[in-house]
Structure formats: C-alpha cells, structure tokens
A and B are shown apart, each in its own frame.
Chain A
Amino acid sequence: MSSASTASNTQVRIATIGSVDDGKSTLIGRLLHDSKGIFEDQLSAVSKASRRYGDGTFNLALLTDGLRAEREQGITIDVAYRYFATPKRSFVLADTPGHAQFTRNMVTGASVSDIAIVLVDARHGVVEQTRRHVSIATLLGVSHLVLAVNKMDLVNWDETVFDTVVTDVAAIVSTLGSSVPIHPIPICATDGENVVEAGDKTPWYEGPSVLELLETLDIMPAATIEARLAVQWTLREHGGSDYRGYAGRLEGGAIRIGDSVTVHPQGYSSIVAGLTRAGSPTDISVPGDAIAIELADDLDVGKGNVIVVNGDHQPVDATGLIADVCWFTDTELNVGDAIVVRHASGEVSARVSAITHRLDLETLENTPTDRLILNDIGRVELALASPLVVDEYTVNRAGGSAIAIDPVSNATIGALMIRSAY
C-alpha cells in the first residue's frame, strides 16, 4: 500500500458492528479506498462484481463480502479481515456480520478489538441488533466505541436525528454499568462524508472524522495486576543441556529476572532465573509478549500451570465458575448439560449447575430463565471436573475468558466471560 508504515508503527485492532444494511462493509470499503488501502486489481474486480450483483453502481461492500454466497445474497455472513495503514498507525479491521444468526462471528471479531465502530442507519435509529451488538461489545470490554451514524444524507443531515441515536446508545452502555467512552460522528459512508476527511454538510459537528479518531484514540492498557503466564509448552534442549523453559504469552503486568513467583494450582514457589522473548534472551518482558521463563527450582511444571508474579492479585484455582455466556448454537443450554470448557490454563469437562438470567435486549434488564437459546447472553454457573486457574474477566481478559465446546460434535458453542470463581 502506498501509505508509509514504519517499524515503530503501533497496530490497532478494530471491529465494525451494527445491524444488517447499516453500511458496515461500505464504511470499510470507504476507509480502505480513501486511505489508498485498495489495490487497482481489487478495484476492477469490485467494478465487475458490482455489475453482476448490484444495480451497476460501484458497490464498496463487495470489497469485503468475499464469499460467493455473500455476494449473491448481498449480506455479510462471516468476519472479513482487512488491513490498512496510515503514517500514524497500522490497522487490522474485522468486518462483522449484522444478521442475528451470525452473532457468533461478530463476537469473534469484536473480542480481540481495541475499538468497535458501531454503525447505525440514521433513518431507523437503534434497533434490536444494534442493542445486541453494543451490549456484546460493551461486555467484551472494548476500549472505545466509535458511534458512526450513517446515511445522514437520507435524513437531510438533521442534527436532532443524530442526537436521538447518540442518547439511545449512551443509555445502553450506562444501563450495562459500563463507562466505555462513546465517540459519535455523523457520516455518509457511500460518499465519504466525515469518514476520512471532515465534510462540509455538518456545520453543527466540529469533531474529528472516523479515520482521525482511529489514528489518535489511546488504546494502551494500564496494567493493574501482577504478570501471569499460562504455560503452553515446555521447551527442552536435546543433548546435555538442562535448559527448561516454560513458554506462553505474558498477561497482566511486566516480569523480570529475579521476580518471586508462585506456580498455580500446585502453589510451588520459585524465582525467575531466565527469560526469552521470541527466542532471544531478555531481562524484562511486558504483557502481550510471547516468552519463555526459566525457574530457579526444578519443579514439575507444564501445560495447565500458570506462573504468577507474587503480589496482591493472584488468580483463583477454580472448580466453580460464574460466567456470562454468549450462546452460539441452535441447541439450547439447560441446567445439567455437560460441556467442555477450554481456557488458557487447560481444557476441562464441566456441568451446568445453574442458569440464573438472560439479558432482555428490549429492556436491557436481566430476566430470570432456566435455559439459553441461540444468541442469548446469559449468566451460568459451572461445576468443573478439575481446576482451572482463572481471573475475573474485567481484571484480565485473557485469564477471564474461555470457550464452551460441545463434547460430542466438538463444535465451539459459546463464549464465556468469567465474573467470579471459587
């Protein structure tokens, strides 16, 4: 791509969310197009496809709707990932499907994003799927919500229409008890107004364009807990060496040679004797790094163990979890069901011991229930067959998240956010 990207460029991950036909794919097409993130052969392929599937006008959505069924039906089924860079940042952009039946794919795209762009069609305002997506993104804990009120040209750039949408979205977020910042922008994705450049149709809006925001929002997480490493694999050298490195990705805080640590769930104590990051020796590592730790003591440590720097915030060695779940499958979840829970610290059998409530997307209130159906967001209690080493999701995303797997079909059937553990 023509835009310069330098080795010191930070990478930002974004998801576009919102209801079907609110213009997510078109906004991305516009961002890519106007930031020169599209190659000429891709443009000519879109022109060709526009003639075939559309009314002949150049359809930017066809840039991301890559599956044949998507182009034929004019909808997004699965997440599409797109990449572009500006001189300031490089971006990984997940275009998620608006249809309720593909909510699982929206969760996949939004779960690893720093920023969610919420698209709302100004003519229709906030609809059920908007509430669902905003709720999920808020529960997932994105750092920022960029609220792009789209198709403003079709409501004559009416400020009161814009204000109503902003008020409605703010109400969803505050009802869920979240303080995630919301950044509202009036746009028209098809002609690019306020997408990359500030437009001239909204004298009442003086804020930045969508791209300006994406380039400047602060996404650096503040570490508030001690470093932890869920061991993925033990590295051993062949022939003579007694090197033993516990490999995994660091989460929570920084770790240094000499730090005192506890190995969960056994409770062993030791000291960090050596560190490598991406295979090279280092003295200190920070969250997100793929590292390997050597310990000063010869201990029985491997996959399933979590090495934690000593301090006030230790994870829980849990055989019981209370979690919010996004339910992904047509088969309903009932009390007593057996599932497999896969977490950074291992994969265990579990039984649903209670289902307490589900989120009613009309009222945004928790409604008592004893079962969850496709696309429900609800609270469950799980009894684990053996311990997992977990954190609360709001404290540490990596230690507080897990997936539910069907033990018979092996399908991934739910996303779990751990609220408490015992």
Chain B
Amino acid sequence: MSAVTSQNELEILASRSHLDRLESEAITIIREVVSGCESPVLLFSGGKDSAVLLWLAIKAFAPARLPFPVMQVDTGHNFPEVMEYRDEFVRKYGLELVVASVQESIDRGDIPDPGPTGSRNRQQAVTLLTAIRTHKFDAAFGGGRRDEDKARAKERILSFRDKKGGWEPRMQRPEPWNILNPRIVKGEHLRAFPISNWTELDIWEYIAREEIPLPTIYFSHERTVIERDGMLLSVGGPVVVEEGEIPTKRIVRYRTVGDMSCTGAIASTATTYEDVLAEVSTARITERGATRADDNFSESAMEDRKREGYF
C-alpha cells in the first residue's frame, strides 16, 4: 500500500463539506461518550436541535440499535404537534423513551407551582436533575449549540456537573485535540454537547440534506396568537388572553420549540425545508432573541440557569 495521497483521494477529501466535518465530529463525540460512560441518556425535546442530535446518534451506531434511551423533560406545556412527533419518531426507530415530568416535581413539592400560566422553563432543571439521579444516568447528551448564547459559547463539549448538578465555568476541563475526560465519581455527571460547533444555519442545511422529519410547527401554518412583550404567543394551554390583548389569526411558524408559555412564533410563509433555509440565512435576529422570553430577563440569564443545572 502506498501512503501517498492519490488524486482520487484528494478529490474525495476536497468534497467533504462543512456539514460532513460537523457530522463526523458529532458522531465521534457520541461514540466516545458512550464508550467512556456507564449509563448515558439523550435529551430529546422534539425540537430541531435534538432531532439532529438523535439523527446523528442513530447514524453513529447504525446498523446496530441506539445503545441508550432518550428522555424528554415534559413541562406539561407542550405543543400537541411536538408530542405526536416525539411518539412517532420513537416508534419508528424502536427507541426507549423516558419521560421526566415537571408536573410530578410540582406535585411532590420539589419546586413551587408557578401557576397554570407561569413559565415552567427554569423549573425544568430540578426535574432533569431528579430524573438523572433516579435513573442513575452518568451522562446526558444535549443539543446545545455554542452560537445560541454567550454563556453557551463558553461551554466545553463535555461539561462536568458536580453532585448538585451545578456548572462552574472557571473549573471546566480543558479539551485539547477534543480528547474528552469522562472520569467522574458517583453522584457527579456529565453533559455532552456533540453539536456544539453547529450554527442555526448548519442545522437547517443538514436537516434539508438529510430530510430529517420535524414537528409541523416549524413550518408555516395559521394560528391564533396574541402579541405579548414583543412576541407572538399561541393562545391556549398556559397562554390565557389578558385584558387589552387581541387574539388574531396569523400565518406563522416557530424557530425554536420550548415551553408554550414563553416560546414565540414568527410571521413566516416558509412551508418547505428550502423556504426555511432561505429565511434563516437572511435572519437578522438570533433565534433565542426572537423567540424566547426566558433568555431575555437579564444579560446573564443563561449563565445563571446553567449554574443551577439547566442545559
């Protein structure tokens, strides 16, 4: 065998796109965490990032089955379309699903009841940590991306969490050459972010290339919404029309999927992968800035929640 690179090989190398490089990187991380940990789990919200993450995990182990379960932290304020999608995905790929319920945490008194219309987004951290302890998971894969937020931009691929589930940004483990250090003692756990280096645009390009199924609310549809704090909120469930608010039918889609009480829709006529891609590539506002009330409370909103155990 000659080790000298042939013309053919050079052409193949050159044909590997940024998506190929990101895909290989993510698959390598997923495999490394599975080989280095006893009991991993993948967090699957039904959102586009976790759909890409799950897709990559399935590819990482194909044709074998996914060697770990997926878990949804159920705030109880879910879009019904997302629940249908979750169940269909789990059924189609024969996955094991664990549901961690925020309502159960409230019923047990672990977290204060924010009331029927209050956001349950921040409280998810408690439910998540309880589920990680109960099921003895030692690593949780998440679809966090560094381009989402300035605190996330600082996160390592493998994020060490202490016995309380907290994140200490000054004590992060260095990861030269992406060599991950998964060593922990009992009670500690790891968060793993295989798609750290993907941007929102990368995510959509990959979804379109792979034709990854998504919940229908990512595409344009008619919906009754009210405008609150500059965001279009879907009326129903935790969102109750208040005095002075006028419900109107609008053509919208969602750029992110989260708790219904704090995830806003955007006006959009994009009905296909390509339409969305075109829209995302000309967007002038970040997805979280545009659609998530929870991140806009203070300049350090995300960092504070991460220290408490949030993703």
Binding site for B on A (CB under 8 A): 1-2, 4-5, 7-11, 39-42, 45, 48-49, 63-69, 71, 77-83, 85, 90, 92, 104-105, 107-108, 111-112, 220, 222-226, 232-233, 235-238, 241, 243, 245, 247-249, 252-254, 259-260, 276, 278-280, 284, 286-290, 303, 309-313, 326, 328, 340, 342-344, 397-398, 401-403, 405, 410-412, 415
A-B pairs with beta carbons under 8 A, tally: 237
B59 touches A225 (CB 8 A): no
Instruction: Say whether B303 faces chain A, with CB atoms less than 8 Å apart.
Output: yes
A40 touches B35 (CB 8 A): no
Which of A48, A77, A235, A253 makes the CB contact (< 8 A) with B61? Answer: A235
Binding site for A on B (CB under 8 A): 1-6, 8-10, 12-25, 27-28, 31-32, 34-35, 58-65, 146-147, 149-154, 156, 169-170, 172-179, 181, 183-185, 196-197, 199, 201-202, 205, 209, 281-286, 289-290, 299-300, 303
Which of B14, B25, B151, B170 makes the CB contact (< 8 A) with A77? Answer: B170
Hey, which chain B residues are within 8 Å of A65, CB to CB? 150
A1 touches B286 (CB 8 A): no
Give the distance in Å from the alpha carbon of A174 to the alpha carbon of B197 in the complex: 33
Hey, which chain B residues are within 8 Å of A69, CB to CB? 169-170
Which of B19, B24, B169, B284 makes the CB contact (< 8 A) with A289? Answer: B24
Hey, which chain A residues are within 8 Å of B64, CB to CB? 235-238, 243, 245
B32 touches A232 (CB 8 A): yes
Hey, which chain B residues are within 8 Å of A63, CB to CB? 150
B27: shortest Cβ distance to chain A, in Å? 4
Hey, which chain B residues are within 8 Å of A340, CB to CB? 183
Which of B197, B205, B209 makes the CB contact (< 8 A) with A92? Answer: B197
Hey, which chain A residues are within 8 Å of B290, CB to CB? 41
B184 touches A105 (CB 8 A): no
A225 touches B154 (CB 8 A): no
Hey, which chain B residues are within 8 Å of A220, CB to CB? 10, 13-14
B153 touches A80 (CB 8 A): yes
B178 touches A2 (CB 8 A): no
A253 touches B3 (CB 8 A): yes
B278: shortest Cβ distance to chain A, in Å? 10
Query: Can you list 13 pairs linking A and B with CB atoms under 8 Å apart?
Result: A2-B284, A5-B201, A11-B17, A67-B169, A80-B150, A81-B196, A83-B146, A108-B156, A222-B5, A236-B64, A237-B63, A254-B5, A412-B181
B27 touches A290 (CB 8 A): yes
B176 touches A403 (CB 8 A): yes
